[in-house]
Amino acid sequence: MKDRTILNLLTAFGILGSLFFLSRKKRNIKDWILIFFIKTFVSTIFDGPLIKAKYMQYPHRYLPKLFDSNIVFLYILFPLSCVMYNQFTDKMKPLKTILSVFLFSGPMTLVENWLEKNTKLVKYSKGWNGYITFSVLSFTFLLVKGCINGIRFLEKEARNP
């Protein structure tokens, strides 16, 4: 399958998935949208310097003259997966929440490794590998989960002083 076809399929999946997962559980829709944007912010902070340092590159991407990163991964798929993770772990106890992160970062790492080996959508260099991707993804999922839990706590405190 051509790289552009894979990118188009991932884009379609991301857009349709965003419509579905951001509208699920309507009582928390503002949380899901906030998680989406927090993950986008966190991913941008991590991805930008890594691309500038040439740890990873995205040779085939949309708008290559405007963005060094792959906007489909960075601004649709990673944030969407974080929303899914937060929906999945919404009522879980902390230990299960921490262990569940591997159910999301593991498959994402495997897909990214496959893309790196079989397409020109992702290219690792300078010692970057799947283990680092797995660690960074896991960390960012937990970081965003901590942020939304902190926001929920502050919101609850503000309502009940």
Instruction: For residue 40, give its domain range.
Output: 3-159
Residue 34: predicted pLDDT: 92
Residue 26: predicted pLDDT: 64
Q: Which residues of the chain have pLDDT under 70?
A: 1, 21-27
Residue 131: predicted pLDDT: 93
Our count of domains for the chain comes to 1
Residue 85: predicted pLDDT: 94
pLDDT tens-place string over residues 94-138: 999 999 999 999 999 999 999 999 999 999 987 899 999 999 999
Token representation of residue 58: 């995205």
Distance CA 111, CA 124 (A): 14
Distance CA 59, CA 68 (A): 9
Global pTM value:
0.88
Residue 47: predicted pLDDT: 87
Residue 160 burial (CB < 10 Å; 0-12/13-18/19+)?
A: exposed
